[in-house]
A and B are shown apart, each in its own frame.
Chain A
Amino acid sequence: MTVDTRYTRADFQSGQEVKWCPGCGDYTILASVQNFLATLDVDREKHVFISGIGCSSRFPYYMNTYGMHSIHGRAPAIATGVALANPELNVWVITGDGDGLSIGGNHLIHALRRNVNLKILLFNNQIYGLTKGQYSPTSETGKRTKTSPMGSLDYPFNPVSLALGAEATFVARTIDMDRDHTAQMLQAAYEHHGTAFIEIYQNCNVFNDKAFQLLTGRKERDENRIFLEDGKPILFGPNNEMGVVVGIDGAKIVKVEDVGIEAIQIHDSSRPSPGVAFALSRLSHGPHGPTPLGIFRKIQRDTYGDLMVSQIKAAQERNKANSISDLVQQHGTWTVE
């Protein structure tokens, strides 16, 4: 990563008092994003942050860039309009598990399939925080909250599986506490031309504390973080003694010594089919065991915006009659003397 000295983190701080609860994972993500943008050789005014509603969606107010705090669930649609209006902009969508997967699920999957040039950061804390603790579409079945006193009946979404199902061209997962990994994912998403989707596990220390303990706890994390790195066998564990194999039944966790290192899946995020990436995404979400982090999928496909621009260009080359009088006379006219 080249470091441009033009900006520091402070250049991306809006000066507004940040009002998340003390200890919220959102602070860490905000710092990661501000630090990351300061490393880029990109004019500050070229960044636009569009969010929906929820704790995470307050994010744009704290960024000294262009931004819009919009409506619950609609950020991908509004951001699509921004991106199509001006392809020069870097358009970031900030959303959460409630905003992006519940009320806004439709817009999310359509943005992903269209491959609009957006960077979507979905902060997943598996709870509704802003409304003070109701289960979300990523909460585990049986979760007891104020609206599910006997346990939630909902089967949860796996955001990475969902994005892959929508054939997103870039899908990654990271975790708030791991700033280096978050920075790597932001860099890769930034470099991707098309829709990039990053699920960020984010701890809500007030309403759903320690939801990601398996991945963040000092004792647990080494046994449960599976880092996906292109060209490398998918190994994990304190001494890389565990690995992942992928077969007809999907992905499976094995002891390396049981299968031999040759049998371990070599990660390749550029596979045209999302099948293997989907299999990896099914290993764990929740997380309830060893969980993959990193880039599941990164492929190139024409973006909606590029295709839109080229259609307009082609139309303009074919038909130069574009004055207002051409417009109103296209069906033929007659003259009354």
Chain B
Amino acid sequence: MQEETLSPPKPPEKKDRVVIRFAGDSGDGMQLAGSRFTESSAAFGNDLATFPDYPAEIRAPQGTLAGVSSFQVHIADWDILTHGDEADVLVAMNPAALKSNIRDVVAGGLILANEDAFDTRNLEKAGYESNPLTDGSLSSYHVMTAPMEKLTKLAVADTGVKGRSVLRSKNFFALGLISWMFNRPTAPIFEWIDKKFGTDTPVGQANLEAFRAGFNFGNTTEEFHHTYEILPAKLPPGTYTNITGNQALAWGLVAAAKSAGLTLFLGSYPITPATSILEEIARLKHFGVKTFQAEDEIAGVGVSLGAAFAGHLAVTTTSGPGVALKSETMSLALMTELPLILVDVQRAGPSTGLPTKVEQADLMIALYGRHGEAPLPVLAPSSPSDAFAIAMDAARIALRYMTPVILLSDGYLANGAEPWRIPDFDDLPPISITHATEPNGPEGVFYPYARDEVTGARPWAIPGTPGLEHRVGGLEKEALTGNVSYDPDNHEMMTAARAAKIAGIANDIPEVEVYGPDDAELLVVSWGSTFGSVRAGVNNANADGYRVAHVHLRYLNPFPRNLEDVLAGYRKVLVPEMNRGQLSAVLRAKYLTPTVTLSKVQGAPFMANEISKKIVELLEDQS
């Protein structure tokens, strides 16, 4: 590999940040091009955030708007919070990709188009009456074109790939061109191609040649006179890796099991966008983890509950429709007071909804979607890397309080990536658990429903332990003995005890921290994956002279114990949510807080400027 021949001669222009969106047909390999660009940027040391966006159809008709897949990556030399509101650069592999993404490109932004795909047929499929690359309609952008298909064909001619496979490498041409333009190191790409395909295979060769052709095209073509450089970010010292939310969640669960000295058991059924957690953990068998692909969602949580009864750290992963199906088993897990983690990677609903698009509209089903009086702890990560910490904490709470826990992730942070500073694991407190081994009642009697004085948890005596044989089940339990009881007072007492146990977790989680000026006139409250956009929006408003505070909730039930006091300190409270106001409704019901909802249900994350615009609107409104 002769890297020096690929180095650009012209001095690059320094930029502190850039947002690049790769867009093409779902068969064009845009997710791959985007994620490779991300990895080489990570290796280079930029801070970054990504947003993969793809259609629900495996193969929507080629060239149509429905089939457009995109991958946006924001890279910067500073600590960034979001994947970027608008793209500075759009790589458009066909007219449909241009049409469905142009509205997100910043005025004056660069459009890099694959001119070969802009033929009459593709223009027609995308609904263009004339060619936007030549009809002047893009005059407010900087448009550059390259015959990507023609040049890819030429580049791979000697590699042995044939027929329709030839054009498959055109994403690497685009990646090469963009890598040249943004001075990306090429070694990580070459290494990846070698690892994935082998550079001695026709496909590996073709991808390599297409990449080099793209890189060199930028280098030698007059039109591409400009390259950019984004220096490594000044992130806090430490060891970093690039991580997606689903990976972080999977790793956090594995780490939690290791920390607790338990076997991790994941019972699951494939469902977008949660599947990659099952895939990731299934790959990690050398950590002693057990994964089970069940016959349906109900069995997925059922096997996990069985594994929990038998002493494993049990998890089930799903998305909205699966949460509905698992509801009955969650109630049983609650009644039997066994530790179990349900991960809901939320997607836009109801029903099948928009399965590949983001929404955070499962808060209500997480909080209340069970029959009977059935409170459960609910946690939500705030960024891809936070999913690691939140998974560990979900495990800690489940084990310490002998309760099912719901972890609400979502499709945006599940697939989005960011650099993660790897924590020092020696500093993390181990998750300690004890299985009951001795009778806890008089005369050698075992009370399966005796409660710990501090936590309210019952003992976890696992099958196989001599002398502690006992039965659990869905029927109401008599306090202490766990025998079936229809006694009205006992039912009321047990219902209250279960609720008190969950409420008491508030004493075992951090208080909320208020971000922003002490004299803020407005508090913004957010939860889940909106953290980055909301924090960026708050920062923008404060930079413009407004005084805005921000509280981000990672614990949705119970709420942090100081939340009520914090809320009471503000006259105006804005709650932006990717739903119709679910957290807002809960805050109003619980604390009588007069919240204002900023709702977005477009299957897309908030942009920072949508948040700051609403903040300004509220603060300019003197009523």
A-to-B contact residues, CB < 8 Å: 14, 16, 43-46, 48, 50, 53, 60-61, 63-71, 74, 77-86, 88-89, 106-107, 110, 308, 311-312, 315-316, 318-322, 324-325, 327-329, 331-337
Contact = CB atoms under 8 A, between A and B. Distances in A.
B306 to A, nearest CB: 2
Contacts of B247: 331
Given A71-B474, A327-B255, A81 B303 contact: yes
Nearest to A16: B483
Given A81-B303, A82-B310, A85-B307, A110 B288 contact: no
Contacts of A74: 298-299, 302, 329
Contact of A81 (B236, B314, B465, B470): B314
Contact of B422 (A71, A77, A311, A328): A328
22 contacts: A46-B464, A48-B310, A50-B306, A64-B469, A68-B471, A71-B329, A71-B332, A78-B309, A81-B303, A81-B305, A81-B314, A85-B312, A86-B463, A106-B296, A312-B285, A312-B288, A318-B286, A320-B286, A325-B425, A327-B254, A328-B388, A336-B236
B448 to A, nearest CB: 10
B306 A80 contact: yes
B43 A332 contact: yes
Contacts of B472: 67-69
Contacts of A333: 239-241, 422
Contacts of B287: 322, 327
A337 B304 CA distance: 43
A337 to B, nearest CB: 6
B469 A66 contact: yes
A61 B299 contact: no
Nearest to B314: A81
Contacts of B310: 48, 81-82, 85-86, 89
Interface string B316-337: 0000000000001100100010
B332 A67 contact: no
A197 B292 CA distance: 22
Interface in B455-511: 462-475, 483-484
Nearest to A83: B306
A323 to B, nearest CB: 8
Nearest 6 A/B pairs, CB to CB: A81-B306, A69-B473, A77-B302, A85-B310, A315-B285, A81-B303
Interface string B584-607: 000000000000000000000000
Contacts of A318: 286
Contacts of B425: 324-325
Contacts of A337: 237
Contacts of B295: 77, 106-107, 110
A332 B241 CA distance: 6
Given A81-B265, A81-B267, A311-B285, A45 B241 contact: no
A63 B473 CA distance: 13
A335 B290 contact: no
B552 interface: no
Contacts of B328: 71
A305 to B, nearest CB: 10
A77 B302 CA distance: 5
B45 interface: yes
Given A46-B464, A85-B306, A329-B241, 7 more contacts: A50-B306, A68-B473, A78-B305, A80-B303, A82-B307, A84-B306, A334-B241
B568 interface: no
B299 A107 contact: yes
Contact of A69 (B267, B329, B388, B474): B474
B294 interface: yes
B263 interface: yes
A81 B302 contact: yes
Given A82-B307, A89-B464, A45 B290 contact: no
Interface in B230-264: 232, 234-243, 247, 251, 254-255, 258-259, 263
A129 to B, nearest CB: 17
Contact of A70 (B307, B421, B473): B473
B45 A45 contact: no
A329 B422 contact: yes
Interface string B258-293: 110001010100000000000000001111111010
Contacts of A82: 306-307, 309-310, 463
Nearest to B336: A68
Contacts of B267: 81
A281 B20 CA distance: 66
Interface string B429-442: 00000000000000
A332 B289 CA distance: 22
B422 A110 contact: no
Nearest to A67: B471
A78 B302 contact: yes
A81 B463 contact: no
B536 interface: no
Contact of B306 (A16, A61, A79, A315): A79
Given A68-B473, A311-B285, A336-B240, A77 B303 contact: yes
